[in-house]
Amino acid sequence: SAVISQKPSRDICQRGTSLTIQCQVDSQVTMMFWYRQQPGQSLTLIATANQGSEATYESGFVIDKFPISRPNLTFSTLTVSNMSPEDSSIYLCSTWTSGRQETQYFGPGTRLLVL
């Protein structure tokens, strides 16, 4: 399995500001994923981040709003830019187990409230 940690665990932000969420994995992994879970909803994939290449964004998500960094094989960041109350969600980092590509594990999530 993969152990995934996220920082911060929660935050309250003012509209118009930006927040960067960090994701750390305890082993080297090829792909990392960022999901959003709006209140009462299921998980929606934002983007896939591979080390050494540009992130691939899902329909409805753009790099200007959700820039992603992937500086090495154990770390990634997601920035939520120019936030509005609609960005209030849980943001989750995820990855496949290293070497097997069979099971996807999730971090504990970052709970964001935008006022």
Binding site for other proteins (CB under 8 A): 1, 4, 31, 33, 35, 42-45, 48, 56, 90, 92, 94, 96, 101-109, 111
Distance between CA atoms of residues 51 and 95, nearest Å: 12
**109 or 114, CB closer to other proteins?**
109
Q: What are the structure tokens assigned to 39, written together? A: 């209140």
Q: In 3D, which of 109, 105, 100 has the Cα closest to residue 39?
A: 109
**31 or 73, CB closer to other proteins?**
31
Place of tokens 């999730």: 106
85: helix, strand or coil: helix
We find the least distance from the C-beta atom of residue 62 to other proteins, in angstroms, to be: 17
**17 or 46, CB closer to other proteins?**
46
Q: What are the structure tokens assigned to 55, written together? A: 């992130």
We find the least distance from the C-beta atom of residue 79 to other proteins, in angstroms, to be: 20
Distance between CA atoms of residues 32 and 78, nearest Å: 11
We find the least distance from the C-beta atom of residue 23 to other proteins, in angstroms, to be: 11
We find the least distance from the C-beta atom of residue 104 to other proteins, in angstroms, to be: 5
